[in-house]
Structure 1
Amino acid sequence: MTASMAWLVDPSVILPFLLAVSLIELTPGPNMGWLALVSMHQGRLAGLAAVAGITLGLAVWMVAAAFGLTSVLLVFPWLYQAVRWAGVLFLLWLAWEAWAGAGKATSGASHDPEKLRGLFLRGLTGNLLNPKAAVFYVALLPTFIRPDHGVPLIQALTLGGLHLGVSIIVHSLIVLGAATAGGVMMRRMQGLWAGRTMAIGIAGVAIWMAWATRG
């Protein structure tokens, strides 16, 4: 066995893969917009709870893609569209929830475990209803897998794990930056207008997702 075969993946693909996924993660998208809004409105801890949910959703899609399960979305376009529109409707529901709850609670950082759990579940659900995450893994992972190097499944899971690490770093930086930059502004918009600003922003993210995932 050569030295390179001792690696879980071909060492020569690691840097190109990290560069590719970093560029993809740094490209503005619905996740980025939603995380920024949550962090600006409710603070860093809330944003990090949302990051945890998004990361778990990505992990589910990654494992499913590694086992070849997500290819069904490409075989049956109607299923892709069903997941896509379910995701858009979910975001619109979150926008309505924020609009209806505007003024009923103060904005700002919250350490309430129930609220943090809710943000985690919203991040998880939103990402599970984003079919682009599945297509991303189906399209990208095979180009970096070397069948003659090792077990393809192990390579896929290893590369997927590296992507999750990059995703966590990028999303966490977005949370920290948005919470810091938006803290003063959101504190000045207490109550009704803070909630309605959040609602309008989430509705914009829903429209953004509908456009970005149109296929």
Structure 2
Amino acid sequence: MLDSSSISASTAASFLLTSFLIEVTPGPNMTYLALVSASNGRRAGFATVAGVALGLAIIGVVAAFGVAELIQASHLLYNVLRWSGVLFLLYLAWEGWRSGDEGAVVGSTNGGKYFLRGLITNLLNPKAGIFYVAVLPTFMDLDAPPTAQAMALTGIYVGAATFVHLLIVLIAGTLEPVLNDPRREQIARRFLSALLGLVALWFAWTTAR
């Protein structure tokens, strides 16, 4: 439960709506979750969601203590983080594309692997840090303790993002039984992998400054 002394109900509601609108916009998380869930099933998708949620929470805590502002202010640090994220997304897209050719086991449920990938993709996402630095503060009361407000709003955002991500896993996961046929699985995997690669390039373009 949110501390009523940190943010008002109206602020919480408006920020929740903003968070939902941001999360339903297609991006790296949505595309990768669809790829994992459609190809490897819901269990792998849920593990990825857990990693994504932890990554978003860590960035929120870091931002609350001002570290994200330092990254945003440093051109070098920002671009190192940005390009690391782009390259990691391209690696995931490449791996998804080639896995069918190299006899990868479809339906692998190595939860730890997917958890770490969900975590890494978000820790290397400078847009998440910018959200916490540029968007989240606009919902804060300047006369109230900032740390408590930042933590409460971070909790709302992570909750909204996780809800949307779980829906993606549930929807995409329904395709996994249909994709038991190797030919259909390869087509779907390569389509989503190509889409993830395009998202990575779009991510590189939109985060340039």
Superposition TM-score, scaled by structure 2 size: 0.88
Q: Which deviations, in whole Å up to 9, do the C-alpha atoms of 1:148-195 show, x marking residues without a partner?
A: 2x3110011011101111111000001101111x22442223576565
1:165-180 matches, cutoff 5 A: 165-180=159-174
- In the TM superposition, residue 117 of structure 1 has moved relative to its aligned partner by 0.5
Task: Calculate the aligned-residue CA RMSD, in Å.
Answer: 2.1
| Residue pair 1:41, 1:186 contacting (<8 A) in 2 also | yes
1:183 aligns with one of 164, 168, 176: 176
2:91 aligns with one of 75, 90, 93: 93
The 3 A distance-change label for structure 1 pair 189 and 79 is same
Letter in 1 for 2:145: V
**In the alignment, what sits opposite 2:125?**
130
- Unaligned runs of 5+ residues in structure 2 are none
Between the aligned partners of 1:59 and 1:118, the Cα distance in structure 2 is 19
Between the aligned partners of 1:147 and 1:10, the Cα distance in structure 2 is 13
1:157 aligns with one of 141, 151, 154: 151
- In the TM superposition, residue 100 of structure 1 has moved relative to its aligned partner by 4.1
Which piece of structure 1 moves more, 74-83 or 39-48? Answer: 74-83
Between the aligned partners of 2:195 and 2:132, the Cα distance in structure 1 is 28
Q: Is 1:55–2:53 an aligned residue pair? A: yes
- In the TM superposition, residue 75 of structure 1 has moved relative to its aligned partner by 1.1
| Residue pair 1:10, 1:146 contacting (<8 A) in 2 also | no
Between the aligned partners of 2:12 and 2:78, the Cα distance in structure 1 is 30
Between the aligned partners of 2:100 and 2:192, the Cα distance in structure 1 is 9
| Residue pair 1:37, 1:201 contacting (<8 A) in 2 also | no
| Residue pair 1:66, 1:153 contacting (<8 A) in 2 also | yes
- In the TM superposition, residue 102 of structure 1 has moved relative to its aligned partner by 2.4
The 3 A distance-change label for structure 1 pair 194 and 26 is closer
**In the alignment, what sits opposite 2:140?**
145
**In the alignment, what sits opposite 2:62?**
64
| Residue pair 2:86, 2:203 contacting (<8 A) in 1 also | yes
SS at match of 2:151: helix
- In the TM superposition, residue 85 of structure 1 has moved relative to its aligned partner by 0.8
- Unaligned runs of 5+ residues in structure 1 are none
Between the aligned partners of 1:13 and 1:193, the Cα distance in structure 2 is 45
Letter in 2 for 1:45: R
Which piece of structure 1 moves more, 8-17 or 20-29? Answer: 8-17
Between the aligned partners of 2:12 and 2:189, the Cα distance in structure 1 is 43
Superposition TM-score, scaled by structure 1 size: 0.86
**In the alignment, what sits opposite 2:105?**
106
1:209 aligns with one of 191, 203, 206: 203
Identity of aligned residues (%): 47
